[in-house]
Every structure is written in C-alpha cells, then in structure tokens.
Amino acid sequence: MTTTIREFWGTYPPAGLGTPPGHGEGVFLRRAGRRPVKSVPLPAPSFLAMHPTLPVLYAVTETETSELVAFDVSDDVGSGGSFACHVTIAPDGTQAYVAHYGTGEVSSIGLDGDGAPAALLSAHVDTESALGPRADRQDGPHAHFTAIDPVTGVLLACDLGTDTVRRYLPGPDGLEFDGIAVALPAGSGPRHLVCAGDLIYVACELSNEVATVRWDRLTAQGEVVETAPTTTVAPRTEDTSQPSHIAIVDGVLIVGVRGADVLAVHDLSPEGALRYRGALNSGHWPRHFAAVGDELVIAAERGHEVRRHALADVLGLEPERGLGEPSELSVTADQVPSPACILRG
C-alpha cells in the first residue's frame, strides 16, 4: 500500500508577522496531488512538530499569550512565555520544548501517554548573559530555536538577543539550565542551527553569516572556528538580508536568506568547511523550507506562496556563474497567506 505524502503548513496572519492574529491564518494541510486546505483555524501557528510515535501534530502560537496546541487531542496548555516561535519534541515523546522569542524563555511541557500537553514543567530565561549591541533587535533575551544533540541528548537553544547558544539537560521534571554552550560574535544574532557530527552550523540573522562551531561533546562546549557570508546575492526586496532556516540535505548545507530572497547552497569539505556554490530564487521572504519526498518545499512568507522544486535540481545546482547572480529553477507554487513553516506529516 502506498502512503500518501502529507504536508502541514503553519501560517501567519495574511498581513504578516506582527499583525493582529485571527484573520484567516491557521494550519493548512496539503496531500500530494491536491490543493491545500485549511485544516484548523489557529492564531499565528508559526512552527509545527510531530510526535515521534503517535499521530499527533503540535503547533505553537506566536501570540502575546502563547500556547502549545495538539491536534487530534482536545487539550492545550499555556507554553510559559509569549510569542513562541519554535517547538521541538523529545525523542521519547514525553515532553515538548518551546522557544519564546518575545520573552526569551525556553520551556518544557509534559505530554501524556496520548501525546496531549499535560502541564508546564519548567521555563527558563537567561538573565545573566550580556545583551548584544543591536539595540533595535537585542533589547532582551530572544530564544528562537531549539535542537537536540543526537549523541548526548543535550538541548541547545539559540538566543538571538544575547548572541549565545544555551545548553539544557532534559530530565523527568523538565529542562535544567546547564550554562552557555557557545558564545557567538557580538551582534551576530544566532537564529537556527544544525548539528553535524562534531560541528554545529549556526545561521546568524543579524550578521547574515553562517558560523561554524567545533563541538566538544565531553565538555558540551563549542567554539566558533569560522564565519562566512550566507550568500553573495545582495538584498533585493528589503534593506538587509537575514538568514532564516538552515539544514543539511543529503550532505549539502542550505540556508534560506530573506531580503536576498534566495536559498543559498554550500558544499561541505571532508573536514566540514563551507564552500559556497551558489543560490536559487526562493520567492519573497523564504522563512522556512523542508525536503518532502523528492521535492524541496519553501515557505515564502511575504510572497504568500509555498514553492516546490525538484530536490535533485536543488542539490545539483550549478556553481554561480556571475558574482551575486541567483539561479532560476523550475518551480510550482500554491497560494497561501503568509506561510511560516513546512512539516512533512
């Protein structure tokens, strides 16, 4: 029996991030070969995650009083902060870890045996680290993303406001803050990261760079060994370029860059050094992307569309022909208001 590929899309209000919620956004469902439909109306569900073993989908609402919402179950609980922007589910499915951009908390929410949110277990905000120098964006801690180191199980959290990656130890009672894992250059604004063996690659939103971090698992400490521009493409639709999501797909590092409005493609040397290859047009404001089957799917937030390319075309992108010239690849698109996240169901 062939399983139909499903995609879930989180969205912002039609007028975009920061505008009042409740104006048509929600979680959209797209089945292969069909048009997307709004599955659940929800205020600003900006990031999604799946339970590792149960058919339960989670969304965090990026609202002043954020919630973690589970679908196919009836309960939801407060997430412990405001303007939640990312959620990670523990490998054993017992907890959800939520990053709050608005107030800086990284919180843990217990999940019951059916995958439903049960209770807020812990919430931590970094009040000790110095803020970054960008007064307009680094006015306080801004937790933006969490990821679990697949070897040690340590939870890493990017904090855009303090230019740090925090370290947490998961436990039955939630998360225990365990110090600063990585100190990034001042004003870099770490947003998302991806772990790759003894290296971590961090997308730095404010400096428009990728930082390569050497990760020592014995001490759970990282050191920045290199920073490199995300792309040679200059800003095209905004005054500045801001990287968004970062991922490694079949050994290729890909970074979404808003403003330049491209996906930047970097090859990795055997030692893990970045080798910039080129970029492809992504649509306006590529906030998130994901490999879904044999396609790469892009949430172009301000273009109000979800774009799809053949994954083979992206991975086989030709080297940049002229400095700062993005490539055009064959593309199809679905229209949807302010897409923010792509998740294969």
Phi, psi of 233 (to 5 degrees): -75, 125
Residue in this structure with the two tokens 């690659």, named with its chain if needed: 201
Return the percentage of the chain with pLDDT > 90, whole number: 84
Q: What is the pLDDT of residues 1-13, one digit of tens each?
A: 345 688 999 999 9
**Amino acid at the residue 294:** D
Residue 203 CA, chain-centre distance (Å), reads 10
- Would you state the pLDDT for residue 79? 75
Q: Count other C-beta atoms under 10 Å from residue 104's C-beta.
A: 26
Q: What is the mean pLDDT of the chain?
A: 93
Dist CA 320 CA 324 (whole Å): 8
The closest alpha carbon to 146, from 52, 250, 70, 60, belongs to 60
Residue listed under structure tokens 């991030």:
17
Order across the sheet with 6-11: list the strands: 37-41, 26-31, 6-11, 339-344
Instruction: Tell me the average pLDDT across 306-317.
Output: 98
Question: Which tokens in the block code for residue 159?
Answer: 């904090």
Contacts for 121 with CB less than 8 Å, ≥ 6 apart: 95, 107, 108, 109, 110, 173, 174, 175
- The predicted structure's pLDDT at residue 1: 35
Is the pLDDT confidence value at 29 over 50? yes
pLDDT of the residue at 326 = 97
Residue ranges of domains in the chain, CATH in brackets:
231-345 (2.130.10.10)
The predicted structure's pLDDT at residue 21: 83
Element holding 314 (H helix, E strand)? helix 311-315
- Compute the distance between CA of residue 181 and CA of residue 206 in angstroms, rounded to an integer: 20
Per-residue confidence (pLDDT) for residue 71, from 0 to 100? 85
Task: Say whether pLDDT at 76 is over 70.
Answer: no
Q: What is the 3-state secondary structure (H, E, C) of 41-99?
A: ECCCEEEEEECCCCCCEEEEECCCCCEEEEECCCCEEECCCCCEEEEEECCCCCEEEEE
Burial class (CB in 10 A: 0-12, 13-18, 19+), 270: exposed
Return the pLDDT at 55. Answer: 87
How would residue 73 be classed by pLDDT, with cut points 50, 70 and 90? very low
Residue 38 has pLDDT above 80, yes or no: no
- 247-306 per-position pLDDT tens digit: 999 999 999 999 999 999 999 999 999 999 999 999 999 999 999 999 999 999 999 999
